[in-house]
Amino acid sequence: MDKNNKYFPPIHPKKSSTRQDEKWDEAVALFNSKQYNEVVPTLLDYVGNHLSGKKKGDTYEIPHGSVVVSITQTAHELLVKCPFLNIQHAKKVPMMRKLAELRMYPLNLTNIVLDNHLVYFSFSCPISLCEPYKIYGVLREICYYADSYDDEFIEKFGAAHIQEPKTTPFPENSKQEAYDNYLKILGDGLQRFDRYMEKRHGNNAWYMLNITLKKIEFHAEPQGYLRTLLEKAIDGLFDGRLPFHDRLLNGKSALEKLKELPKEQFMADLYQTETFIPYKYSGKKENIRENWQENYEEAQEMISNSKFEDASNLIQSCYYNIFFYNLVNEEISKPITDALSQASDLPWSQAAPILLKGMQAIMEDTFMDVDYGMDLSKLMGEQMQQSMAAMQKIMANFKTN
């Protein structure tokens, strides 16, 4: 326990963004010039040029995770429809209550409709109102929440998929490796958490929860119900409505429940699917720098004051945040993963400077990339920047005894 956390590399190469950034400005220009019929095709090209092959007639049929999104454009209207769940044999009362809640929040522009026993996400608007930000928001909303809630509703209420998702499972040896490491990550995280709580080091206890949960996602990148459990546990860490100590105890409880998850269920949620609108954003270096600036300065000060363990936990929390919320290119990911690998299982006094060096590589190099159009990492800011700010506020407000 007097050493840094062990690093577990991903069992499968991380995905990179397929976005064509220059297409965003083109879509905005088309809308502003009232060439409305060209906006949606250009917006889909922005998401990825591979989507052009998904069109049949006037309709795009685009798989995303466990659902398929249909986008139909006529001369006057845009129609988006996504089959969600069959609730014929589900527990109707709680199921309908949850669907009503989902329709009110977190959905914004999208509607949920019930056709006999089939539930759909839907959206429609005149073609002249297909403003790019709005349409992208609709597509992301449908993709994220349809793929996120289906497994939870199936698990809890006995609903069923309308169509079976197309998945590619990981090799059995990779799944076994992921499961073995999953238990190691959870066991180590719980042990370190308990030690910090005994010492009344609340800051480090919180960092350890954040690192442990996001390290699981980084290593195994699970889908299905397991991903839902991880996301809920992480959301709980940042829930400002709860006292800090309650968040710590809830976080520990989440780790213990994850440790009790049956092996078969864990293995069943290790697969790859086609992705339409990624739930992760395209991280840009300038936004990462902005998010990290305060933590970077704090980590430097900690190391200068020989607080190596504190600095290591802070930096690693920042690292795993980046991978949890973003698709990042090798220019960003390599210095981070190199630092995590080199600092793995080292004494704190050796690990902290190595970890800081990885952060320094991103914070202090010369960034000359061309910046196109829509900055999705600005939208990521609504998620990641808020979580980073919340993390800083939590640590600033909490005083150890």
Q: Are residues 49 and 88 in the same domain?
A: yes
**213 found inside a domain:** yes
Domain closes at, from 136, 161, 186: 161
177, 155 contact by CB (below 8 A):
no
Q: Do both 323 and 256 map to the same domain? A: yes
Whether 251 and 133 share a structural domain: no
Angle, helix 202-220 to helix 386-397, in steps of 10 degrees:
150
pLDDT at 368: 35
pLDDT of 287: 87
Positive or negative torsion for Cα 161, 15, 371, 45: negative
What's residue 388's pLDDT? Answer: 57
Q: What is the DSSP letter of 383?
A: I
Q: Give, in order, the Cα–Cα distances in Å from 79 to each of 72, 74, 117, 276.
A: 5, 8, 21, 17
Query: Would you say residue 7 lies in a domain?
Result: no
Residue 375: domain span: 169-273+278-397
262: helix, strand or coil:
coil
Taking alpha carbons only, the member of 214, 320, 327, 332 closest to residue 280 is 327
CA 69 – CA 158 distance, rounded (Å): 23
169 contacts: CB under 8 Å, gap ≥ 6: 175, 270, 271, 272
Q: What is the pLDDT of residue 369?
A: 40
CA end-to-end span of the chain: 22
**Does any domain span residue 17?**
no
Dump pLDDT digits (tens) for 351-361.
999 999 999 99
The total of structural domains in the chain comes to 2
Helix (H/G/I), strand (E/B), else coil: 327? strand
Are residue 226 and residue 354 in the same domain, yes or no? yes
Question: Is residue 112 located within the same domain as residue 33?
Answer: yes
Which ranges of the chain have pLDDT less than 70?
365-401
pLDDT reported for residue 378: 45
Q: Is residue 12 part of a domain?
A: no
Q: Report the predicted TM-score, pTM, of the whole model to 2 decimal places.
A: 0.85
Write down which residue in 114, 143, 161 finishes a domain.
Answer: 161
Task: Tell me the two tokens of residue 68.
Answer: 């398929």
Contact call for residues 95 and 102 (beta carbons, < 8 A): no
* Predicted local confidence at residue 370, as pLDDT: 36
Same-domain pairing of 339 and 216? yes
Distance from C-alpha of 292 to C-alpha of 2, rounded to nearest angstrom? 26
Which of the listed residues 161, 191, 219 is the one where a domain comes to its end? 161
> Left, alpha or beta for 344 (phi > 0: left; psi -120 to 50: alpha)?
beta
